[in-house]
Amino acid sequence: MRNPERYPFIVADTMLGEASLRPYLPLTLAYGDESVPTAGLLDTGATVNVLPYQIGVQLGGEWEQQTTQLRLTGNLAQVEARALVVSATVAQFEPVRLVFAWTQATDIPLLLGQINFFMEFDVCFYRSQLVFEVQPKEVAS
């Protein structure tokens, strides 16, 4: 069993201080020959992973080639989204395939949700200590 990686909560707005602390996970996304180092918000309430439009473009994704259209909820329901599968690497762990709802929205964080980030990684939040730990799921032998 691998040791989990530990990360601090990040202040998203210095004016708000502790009220704005968020669990952002650094990770590298890859698609084709392109890779983009970024950070995703661990969002246990999100049904799906969400990829902001500009990161998909940086990865070389071509909107018209993604044929699976998705209907999201909340504020994202107003914006078109399509499925995009990319490779994601967290810390020194093996890369995993993550499927994203690639949205045309640009003013949102990259969201890591139940499908399928939390299907691939076990996460433990220690909010009182302002840290969280991440490790790949255990594969039954």
- Residue 98: count other Cβ atoms within 10 Å of its Cβ: 23
For another protein, the closer of residues 70 and 130 by Cβ is 70
- Minimum CB separation of residue 22 from another protein in Å reads 12
Residue 20 CB, shortest distance to another protein, in Å, is 10
Least CB distance to another protein at residue 92 (A): 23
* 73 DSSP 8-state letter: -
Nearer to another protein, 16 or 124 (CB): 16
Q: Which is nearer to another protein, 28 or 114 (CB)?
A: 114
Shortest distance, position 105 Cβ to another protein, whole Å: 8
Nearest distance from C-beta of residue 55 to another protein, angstroms: 14
Return the sign of the alpha-carbon dihedral for residues 70, 36, 22, 9. positive
Q: Quote the radius of gyration of the chain (alpha carbons, Å).
A: 15
Report the distance separating Cα 120 and Cα 138, nearest Å: 9
Where on the chain is the footprint of another protein (CB under 8 A)? 16, 19, 43, 45-50, 68, 70-76, 81, 83, 85, 97, 99-101, 105, 108-109, 111, 113-116
Nearer to another protein, 6 or 125 (CB): 125
CB nearer to another protein: pick between 68 and 129: 68
Query: Is the previous residue joined to 75 through a cis bond, with omega within 30 degrees of 0?
Result: no
| Selection from 111, 136, 141 nearest residue 49 by Cα | 111
